[in-house]
Every structure is written in structure tokens, then in C-alpha cells.
Amino acid sequence: MIRRTLISLSVIASLGAALPPSVLAQSDYPTKPVKFIVPFPPGGTSDIMGRMAAEELGKILKQPFLVENIGGAGGVIGTERALKATPDGYTIVMTGVGQNAVAHGLDPKPKYNSNTDFVHISQIHSGPNVLVVHPETPFKTLKDLVDFAKKNPGKLDYGYTPAASGHMAMEQFKQTAGIFMLGIPYRGGGPMMTDMLGGTIKLMFINQDVALQHVKTGKLRALAVSSAQRNPLYPDVPTVAESGYKGFEALSWSGLSVPKGTPQAVVDKLEAAMSQAMLSPAIKQRMESNGFVVPAQGSKHYTEFVKSEEILWTKVIKTAGIKSQ
């Protein structure tokens, strides 16, 4: 009896030794700190959302989730870096509208495929852009702006950051409304906001959280939000759809993904932790106080959403004839 037990234990030990370390570690993942790549510089909406998610995941999974900002090319450089990492769950990446939807419309031969090279864990945030104008303009409603643009094609100029969600929202709006306006590109939202407040440019679509303080103080006038429903921070501002363009929706969004090949057990654990984190009262309050919506959670939902966004923005980009800058 003793001899049989010893033989059985030796067989189990030999089988365990034959398994790769990644398989053995899946059951108690994570056993060390996890790198969380945010493919944008510090301080922006993506960085804020990423750090919020990283903090909560660290609490739930009992290991630090260390944010590493790798900016450049509208999020593409950091995303490429994540794809090259070992697919073991110890490198995760923040995915989003620019680098995982818009980028595919701009580049016919991207270095990664958002739908096949990554496993999408869950969505982190969703929020609208708001169409704002300088208060010295005569426009009080979206109809006022569209009527002027139709009568004076090319006489209005607007600011945009190439490939950002506000850029895409404006292109979709121009196509939907059938108007022509001149776009002025900016390297980032900061310089664009400075020129907008100074009256150099007259209008733009920008993330609602960035515009809010200026709308409240009367330095900007909000005409419409790009979400399907009104935003709680802008209760008196109609949606673009309400203003006569049924079905219009253009969102800023982000989520959590890992490179293809990450073990399913790790994916499942991250998915469960994300759902727990994002549905907590603390996160819900923090998100909603900044005008964001906690989206539906889960890998299936986020995977389908990323695919639908790529299709939408590729169509808008091709129609507008936008080229990679």
C-alpha cells in the first residue's frame, strides 16, 4: 500500500514537472505584479480611466497593476508593444476607439488586427463628445449651425485632433448633415482648447468631461452631445439625434485586452475581476460624476462592440477620404 502511494506521488510529480510554468500558474494568477499599458501620455481621459481600473484590479486580485504610459501614433505604438509581450496575463493593454477602430480605417495594412490579435476582456468606459461653439458665434442650436454651413460652405472652421473620437464625431456629423466645413488639425486637446477659448476656431467636438467647466462658466456654448441619450452633466443640451439626425451616435470608449494566446483561465479571472470592479458603487459614482457611463461588462459584449466600431469608423473614414497623417 505504501509502495503504491509512493509510485502515485512520483507520477503526479513527474506530470507536474512536464507542464509549462504558465499552465501551473493559471490557478493562482496573478502571483506577481501585472504591467498595464496605457497607450497615451499621462493626464488624459484614457490615462484616468486606465489608472482607475488598474487600482481596482489590484485590490481584487491582490497584486499591483502597474500603469505604463506608452504614447504615440494615436495609441498605436503602445498597442503594438503589448502585442509583442508574452501572452501570459502579466501584460495587459488599454484598448480604445482610436487605436482599435479608427486606426484600421486610416491604415489599410496595420501591424495588428484588433479582432484577431487580441482577446478583449471587458469595456471600461463609454462617454459622448459634445459639440461646442465659441460664445461670440450666433449659433444657439444645432439647426442654426447647419443652416449657416449650408448657406456658406467652407466659411466655418473647426478644430480636431487627428484620429481622436472628436475628429470622427465631426466627420460623421458633416456626412449626416450634408455640410462642408474646414478642419484645422491640432496635436492635442490642450492647444485646441486654448485656440477655441481664444476664438481662433469657432467650434469642435470634444470629450464632455473636458468641456464641462468651460460650458458652466459661459466660455463655451454646448449645442449637442453625441450619445444616444442626454448626458446627466448636460441635462439641457439635446443629443444630435434629438436635433434632427435620428440614429446618430459617436462615443469615446476604452476597455481592457490581452494578447492572443493568453490562457483561458487567466482571461476568465480578469473578466470576472473587471465585472466586479466596474459594477462597484465607488466606480459607478466616480464615472457618473464625470459624465461617463459604466458600459455592459464581459468579453463577449466588448469583442462584438470593438468589431462594430471598426466597421462604423472605417466607413466614415473612407467616405471622408481621410488619410493617415
**Total-model pTM:** 0.82
Query: Tell me, what amino acid is at 109?
Result: K
Cell of 291: 459624465
Domain ranges in the chain?
A: 32-126+252-320, 128-225
CATH, range 32-126+252-320: 3.40.190.150
Cell of 138: 450666433
Instruction: Describe the crossing of helices 45-61 and 264-278 by its angle, rounded to 10 degrees.
Output: 110
> According to the model, what pLDDT value does residue 282 have?
85
Cell of 109: 495594412
- Helix runs in the chain, H state only: 2-18, 21-25, 45-61, 76-83, 97, 103-106, 142-151, 165-177, 189-198, 208-216, 264-278, 281-288, 299-320
Measure the CA–CA gap between 31 and 93, rounded to whole angstroms. Answer: 19
Q: Mind listing the pLDDT tens digit of every residue in the chain (325 residues)?
A: 444 444 444 444 444 444 454 444 456 999 999 999 999 888 888 898 999 999 999 999 999 999 999 988 888 999 999 999 999 999 999 999 999 999 999 887 889 999 999 999 999 999 899 999 999 999 999 999 999 999 999 999 999 988 888 999 999 999 999 999 999 998 778 889 999 999 999 999 998 988 999 999 999 999 999 999 999 899 999 999 999 999 999 999 999 999 999 999 999 999 999 999 998 888 988 888 888 888 999 999 999 999 999 999 999 999 988 877 6
Please state the separation of Cα 288 from the chain's center in Å.
16
Antiparallel, parallel or unpaired: β 65-69 and 34-38: parallel
Burial of 284 from C-beta contacts in 10 A (0-12 / 13-18 / 19+): middle
**40 and 47 in contact (C-beta within 8 Å)?**
yes
> According to the model, what pLDDT value does residue 5 have?
43
3-state secondary structure of 204: strand
> According to the model, what pLDDT value does residue 26 have?
56
Concatenating the DSSP letter of every residue in 32-90 gives S-EEEEESS-TTSHHHHHHHHHHHHHHHHHTS-EEEEE---GGGHHHHHHHHTS-SSSS
CB atoms within 10 A of CB 220: 23
Pick the CATH number of 128-225 from 3.40.630.10, 3.40.50.410, 3.40.190.10, 3.40.30.20: 3.40.190.10
> According to the model, what pLDDT value does residue 27 have?
66
**290 and 82 in contact (C-beta within 8 Å)?**
no
Place of cell 501572452: 87
Give residues with Cβ within 8 angstroms of 136, minimum separation 6: 199
> According to the model, what pLDDT value does residue 96 have?
94
